Amino acid sequence: MRTNHLKHTKRLPRFIRLLGRLRPLDLPVTHRHNTVELFHGGRSFFEALFTAMRSAERTIHLEYYLIHDDRIGADLAHELAAAVHRGVTVKLIYDYIGCLDTPASYFKKLIKKGVELLAFNVPSFKRGVYWFDKRDHRKMTIVDGTVAFLGGFNIGNEYAGCSADKHIFRDLGFSIRGEAVCELETIFFETWNGERSDTATLKPVDRPRHPVSKVGDAAVNIISGGPRQRRSYIREAFQVNIASATEEILIATPYFVPGPRIIRSMLRAVRRGVRVRLLLPARSDVRLMLLLGRISYATLLRGGVEIFELEREILHAKVMLIDSERTVIGSANLDQRSFHRNFEINCLVDNVQFGGQIRELLLEEIAASNPVELDVHERRGLFVRFMERVVSLFAWFA
């Protein structure tokens, strides 16, 4: 697909009107000078990530939902310990619930090596049951304040493609160099400060100031979401971009519980002539999410949305491409948890070259996936329909 002046002319007024109607509390800052690199598959992602860590001279800041004590987890621990030994300051935020299966000894060893650790949302009876439903779902590493690695990759063998075939995750990651990295580092320290002191007055953390470099032509907006916000910036970013599309929307997400607003946005897009294709998982590490995701299939298929299910691996990529050039990519799923209860980090990348790479990859995945047909979907058994009704009662908590 080629960009053209007519397409921009049609899309821009609608985009501006939607921003005005939604009235976000704070419009995201556009960082216009960045280089964004896409990593398709865990091997290339972790190779680039560890290479960047080896070149770190001042700081490494990491924030991850899940860290396994396996081969990739051991490689990470080795690189962090080596960086500390060179005099690099290393800070790591990990989600307490996400890492419940990770032995405490793993983190104790990191502390002994000099890594500064912060467990996100440690259980506390003082907060009642609220603490249990809050997650730090971000996946982010920032090296020397100049390059950031983001996407769907947690730290574990299944993400790097070195576990048993049936457990390999199909994921996407990317790196950013340029102006946007400074905002990502600010978000990291907001979490670091917030979790270190819930009730006491927060003390600012000293962090080195790095010169802002203008290294590319990719425009990047950072969309940070969390339960402390009065409205969901993550959902609004999806909604506004869907509504601005004029030709094509491609979406891949592993957990699909979009809610009525996103569904309506997709159906409106189809009615105005936009081709909408969804790539969803045929199997999942959370089986309940498959039932929840398929509840909306009939409505979407009748409305003209095309749905494809990936079978050969477990889909874990979280990406949306608008008109081949504007990409929403990061840690957030199209589900209620990512919209309202997780701390997430997404990036809106406006760049034709990056969008072209995303489109090529998504179309390859769609071509290798099974299309969902309405008549076949409607013939699913009574037991499946009954279970869908039951789990739909708990969709908000999934």
- Which domains are present in the chain? 1-34+216-398 (3.30.870.10), 42-170+180-213 (3.30.870.10)
Helix (H) or strand (E) holding 374: helix 374-378
Q: Which ranges of 23-70 would DSSP assign to H, the alpha helix? A: 42-54
**Residue 77, phi then psi, degrees to nearest 5:** -60, -40
Residue 26 is among the residues annotated as catalytic for this protein: no
Among 91, 134, 137, 340, the active-site one is 137
Residue 144 is among the residues annotated as catalytic for this protein: yes
Whether residue 282 has pLDDT greater than 50: yes
Residue 318 is among the residues annotated as catalytic for this protein: yes
Residue 134 is among the residues annotated as catalytic for this protein: no
Q: What is the pLDDT of residues 308-317, one digit of tens each?
A: 999 988 999 9
Residue 65 in contact with residue 137, Cβ under 8 Å?
yes
Q: Write down the pTM of the prediction.
A: 0.89
**Mean pLDDT in residue range 85-97:** 97
Residue 214 is among the residues annotated as catalytic for this protein: no
Among 40, 91, 316, 340, the active-site one is 316
Among 69, 144, 171, 335, the active-site one is 144
Share of the chain above pLDDT 70, in %: 82
Residue 5 is among the residues annotated as catalytic for this protein: no
**Mean pLDDT in residue range 142-167:** 90
Residue 367 in contact with residue 349, Cβ under 8 Å?
no
Q: What is the pLDDT of residues 131-141, one digit of tens each?
A: 667 899 999 99
